[in-house]
Amino acid sequence: MVQRGLVLGLLIGAFSDLLLVLGQQLRWLQHPSGRPVMAYAVSSDGQVVVGELPYCCPGSHGGCGYIRHPLRWVVPTGEVFDLAFYMWGDLCYPPMEALDANIDGSVIVGRDFRFDWEEGRVDWYYNAFVDGVSGDGSVVVGWFFGINDRAFRHVQGQPIEPLGTLGGNESRAFDCSWDGSVVVGSAQNTQGNWRAFRWTPSTGMQDLGVLFPIHWAGRATGVSADGRVVVGWTQGFTSRAFRWRLGVGMQPLGAFAGGGNTFAYEVSADGRVVVGVAQVGMEERAVRWGEDGHIEDLNIAFATLLQPGEVLRHARGVSANGRYIVGWGERNGVIAAYWLDTYIRGDVDGNGCVDDADLLRVLFAFGQSGSGLPEDLNGDGIVDDADLLAVLFRFGSGC
């Protein structure tokens, strides 16, 4: 287990000592140098964020030549770790970033590596982007780059497994299901066009199709826990985000009035909440889509959490329950990573609306005691009047 920690001097905004159960929080991570900090993924439990941060490599004539280092941000404690200090001795190693984490953030993957934080062990995948990891951390997926990029899956203790292509020369894997048996990504077909794919051991690589005849390219970037829901985008004259369901096929996700490109990056464990990016004019905005495919600008939905000069640009990761969203935005023109808790206090069933169903759940659980009760909204160990009032005071919120 890692015993020491390098806690970086990053600036963390909107940090609260309140319990996470209180919800609706926005926390920023900004580097003192003003260089970009980006978050690419969040652990399934929503408490560990991974991405990239800048590191100063001293130049021959003084000053800094900044390169990317992999980031691990533990949100409840506010600790920020530069993983380079644990993985290699030469801190001016070629640029790398952390791209995904397992269920509790103990296994992190990124460019060239799989890192077990608890054991302090690194598995190297040279000339590869390791983009996805299973829930328990035992399976990783990604792609080796070279003359032709090739997707792979690796079950720990077994040989690396190439996934092939759709008849073309190249393929890339971006994510896998919680047990690692379903892999999604992008591969070239016989015409050389990139298409979104879904791979399983029994079916091999399957082309998920495109949305419209003018869309000739595609990418699958996220998959649900059970592998039955896939998200990504297809591209032609414009790009359109999609959600693909087993037995249903590919369906477009909503866009803002007037069109504009949309990109879906990740999906919650049950396939209901999708996060990504949409263009509004020439601007990029962080967005999410619900089960009905309706698009929601996070800057509008959580405007009360934003200060002047702050804007959410990219939503790149979402927790298993859809509650926590990570990505990056701008704070007075500086690119910074963010962690957003979307929870509405009083929303017991987590459907985004405080309504009769939540009220009934508190009433039926009234008087129960214990830890981890969903109806115990203030976290004091008992479902009582305080929890009932929390629902009543927020009744109708989010509906």
In this predicted structure, what is the pLDDT of residue 44? 95
Which pLDDT band holds residue 1 (cuts at 50, 70, 90)? very low
Which residue, chain included where needed, has tokens 């791979």? 199
**What is the DSSP code (8-state) at residue 305?**
G
CB atoms within 10 A of CB 334: 17
- Looking only at the bridges linking them, the beta strands covering 334-341 and 324-331 are antiparallel
113/126 Cα distance (integer angstroms): 8
What region, left, alpha or beta, does residue 35 occupy, with left being phi > 0 and alpha being psi -120 to 50 degrees?
A: beta
User: Residue written as tokens 């497994």?
Assistant: 161
**Residue whose token pair is 């070629």:** 94
Q: Model's pTM, two decimal places?
A: 0.89
Spell out the domain ranges in the chain.
11-353, 354-399
The predicted-structure confidence for 187-229, as pLDDT tens digits, reads as follows 999 999 999 999 999 999 999 999 988 778 899 999 999 999 9
| pLDDT of res. 310 | 98
Q: What is the pLDDT of residues 12-47, one digit of tens each?
A: 654 433 334 456 899 999 998 899 999 999 999 999
Strand partners, 26: 340
Distance, CA of 129 to CA of 141 (rounded, Å): 9
Assign 389 to helix, strand or coil: helix
Q: What is the pLDDT of residue 275?
A: 98
Each residue of 270-315: pLDDT tens digit? 999 999 999 988 899 999 999 999 999 999 999 999 999 999 999 9
Stretch 234-255: mean pLDDT: 95
The percentage of residues in the chain with a pLDDT greater than 90, rounded to a whole number, is 69
* pLDDT tens digits for range 49-86: 999 999 988 875 667 888 999 999 999 999 999 999 88
Say what the pLDDT of residue 3 is.
Answer: 39
Instruction: Tell me the angle at which helices 385-393 and 356-365 cross, rounded to the nearest 10 degrees.
Output: 180
Q: Mention the CATH class of domain 354-399.
A: mainly alpha
Q: Spelled out in words, what is the top-level CATH class assigned to the domain 11-353?
A: mainly beta
Instruction: Evaluate if residue 165 carries a pLDDT over 90.
Output: yes
pLDDT of residue 399: 72
Bridging pattern class, strands 139-144 and 150-155: antiparallel
